[in-house]
Amino acid sequence: MSTKIDIERFARHIVLREIGGPGQQALGRARVAIVGAGGLGAPASLYLTAAGVGQITLIDPDMVSLDNLQRQILFRTDDVGKFKAGTGAVALRALNPGTQVIAIPAALDASNARELLAGADLVLDGCDNFETRFAVNAASRALGIPLVSGAIGRWDGQVSLFNSGPEAPCYRCWVPEIPPDAETCARVGVVGALTGVIGSIMALEAIKHICSAGETLDGRILLFDGLTMESRTAKLKRDPDCPGCGGGQASGPGRQ
């Protein structure tokens, strides 16, 4: 916020009472790690870069494929065959040169999650498999980093904020074990615009958390139905038997 161009770029934030100059400065200091540069990570990373987040780390091992372009708006046809992390970083730097973008073209798993997420102030998880979600959740909780988690499939999506404090629910309070009928977008499909809706909500939650604005989804989960355009929130609480943050095998998804 020290130059005229910064003031001009972020003018619409600065006039907001809930953000203003202090909030914009907080965004500029924030370090956000985004796991997955696909359908959810693409819009989330674009909006957080445009918002002036100081550092974004994109973690994704995959290359752009033609079938990604139906929903992954960070990429273009000429990007097919290139690594998502590096290609996405180029696009984000072009959008806002003031954001430092770090590209990590590697798969996050239980063995390296803490190393890859260390130093972040906030993690966004937009991956598409439960093994990675569990690894992100465990590292987030161990490192004391709040986690914005999103998921989509067909016409439905969900978003929540986990691990916001020692007594807050973690992702496995909601999903204790991998569901036996777990679905992937590759198998059941997903409407492209839905990823934009849910990814944008993830970015909005991140901005609110960083700026201490409004009421976040901490302790709640937002469930969105794109076919009916209806949404609802369900309360979440920490499960004392959660396999992620409690004492053992969870008996249920931690809903009130």
- Distance, CA of 88 to CA of 250 (rounded, Å): 38
Residue 212, phi-psi category: left (phi > 0), alpha (psi -120 to 50), beta (remainder): left
Q: Are 64 and 77 in contact (CB under 8 A)?
A: no
Q: Does domain 4-164+189-218 have CATH number 3.40.120.10?
A: no
Structure tokens at 46: 């674009």
Range of lowest pLDDT (62-66, 91-95, 244-248):
244-248
Residue 41 has pLDDT above 60, yes or no: yes
Task: Please give the single-letter amino acid code of residue 25.
Answer: Q
What's the predicted TM-score (pTM) here?
0.93
156-183 pLDDT tens trace: 999 999 999 999 999 999 999 998 877 7
- Distance, CA of 107 to CA of 197 (rounded, Å): 25
Between CA 180 and CA 210, with CA 231 as vertex, the angle to 5 degrees is: 90
**What pLDDT does residue 138 have?**
97
177-231 pLDDT tens trace: 998 877 767 778 899 999 999 999 999 999 999 999 999 999 999 999 999 999 9
Bridge partners, residue 155, by sequence? none
**What pLDDT does residue 186 have?**
72
Q: Which residues are designated catalytic?
A: 185
**What pLDDT does residue 2 have?**
38
Phi/psi for 233 (5° steps) reads -120, 140
**What pLDDT does residue 248 have?**
58
For 245, the 3-state DSSP assignment is coil
**What pLDDT does residue 227 have?**
97
Residue in this structure with the two tokens 């053992």, named with its chain if needed = 248
Structure tokens at 13: 């934030």
Contacts of 16 by beta carbon, 8 Å cutoff, 6+ apart: 23
For the chain, the average pLDDT equals 93
| DSSP-derived pairing of the beta strands 156-162 and 147-153 | antiparallel
What is the biggest distance separating any 2 CA atoms in the chain, rounded to whole angstroms?
A: 55
50-76 pLDDT tens trace: 999 999 999 999 999 999 999 999 999
**Cα–Cα separations (whole angstroms), residue 152 to 9, 52, 106, 126, 238:** 32, 26, 22, 9, 23
Residue 5 has pLDDT above 70, yes or no: no
- Distance, CA of 144 to CA of 154 (rounded, Å): 33
Delimit the domains of the chain by residue range.
4-164+189-218
